[in-house]
Amino acid sequence: MASQWASRLGALRHLQVANGLSRPTRVIELQNQLRQLSLASSPRFTAPRAGPASTISSQQTQSFATTSDSAKPKRATKTKTKTATTKRKSSTSTKKPKKELSEAQKEKKAKRAEIDRRKELVEKALKEPTKLPQSVRGLAIKDAFAEHRGQHEGTVAIFKAAAESIKEKGADAVKEQYQALADKNRATNEAAYDAWVRSHTPLQIREANNARRALARDPTRKTRLFLIKDDRLVKRPISAFLLFSKERSSGTDFKDMASAQVDAAKKWRSLSESEKEPYVKRAAEDRERYHREHLEVYGVEARRSSPKEE
């Protein structure tokens, strides 16, 4: 019996109270060992039994909760940006292919594109200032039309009456009455036109003339457009054959111009390379002049082309 007590009391030698008070887990371990010792020393029991759960203070509970919470890894929170990106990717991947247009839709789209192209050309073509009547007959018709406006119904009837009244006055009387005003209006129109041209750069005038050429090729257009006259525009270079043809057709009557060009073409083909050399050299000099003036006037370099194209 004494040996059993000695062996049981030997467990106390390994207990370190300082370590047991340092941390809450050590306190619990110390309490368990003391409880086993008290059960073993009781004469009624020969073996230890489980006792009631020990009371844990609120301070220990908080320390346990803090330790357990800090030991648990934090769960990563999902951001809204990632979810939005995922949804956007899924919607993009499931995008339906575009439907092919029908023939009627293609035709409608082509007409819309042609209308837009014409509008763009009209804007580039520039609108000239409104001109005053500068012909004798135009001035006479204008006054006669205003005079007979209240006497007849309909534009056609008024115009016929105005033309009849001018005819009755006679050409000489009408000319004497309106010639001075026609000359004045012509001078006013020329000054306004020149000021309008000078208000645009030479490059704008050149692009306007190109747009007018394109509109002139439109068969559906009824209004006729003339090229804008501007002495600042760079003259295009002349080819070697045109120099030769111009030299041969100088002094030729306008009626015989077509036959003169045909004869010049035949003669040009029959010339040798040495005979063509002077015209080729002059054409090359004219091309250099064109490229130099193009850069000076328009501010951009001209497209380099072969002598045959120019």
Name the pLDDT band for 34 (thresholds 50, 70, 90). Answer: low
The CATH number of 234-310 is 1.10.30.10
pLDDT of residue 197: 96
pLDDT band at 304 (very low <50, low <70, confident <90, very high): confident
Q: Which of 177-191, 197-211, 218-232 has the lowest mean pLDDT?
A: 218-232
Q: Residue 178: CA atoms inside 13 Å, Cβ hemisphere, count?
A: 23
3-state secondary structure of 147: helix
Other Cβ atoms less than 10 A from the Cβ of 122: the count is 16
> Which pair of structure tokens corresponds to residue 175?
């000319």
The full DSSP string for 97-113 is: PPPPPPHHHHHHHHHHH
Model confidence over 108-135: pLDDT tens digits?
999 999 999 999 999 999 999 999 999 9
Separation between Cα atoms, residue 152 and residue 154, nearest integer Å? 7
In the predicted structure, residue 44 carries a pLDDT above the cut 70: no
Neighbours of 220 (CB within 10 A): 6
Q: Which residue has the higher pLDDT, 15 or 168?
A: 168
pLDDT at residue number 84 = 53
Q: Please state whether the predicted TM-score (pTM) of the whole model is above 0.75.
A: no
pLDDT bucket at 53, cuts 50 / 70 / 90? very low
Region 151-158 average pLDDT:
85
Q: What is the pLDDT of residue 47?
A: 47
- Region 181-188: mean pLDDT is 94
Range of lowest pLDDT (59-68, 137-146, 181-190, 238-247) = 59-68
> Looking at 103-112, 147-156, 241-250, 256-265, which range is the least confident one?
256-265
Where are the chain's structural domains? 1-47, 114-230, 234-310
Q: Which is more confident, 191 or 161?
A: 191
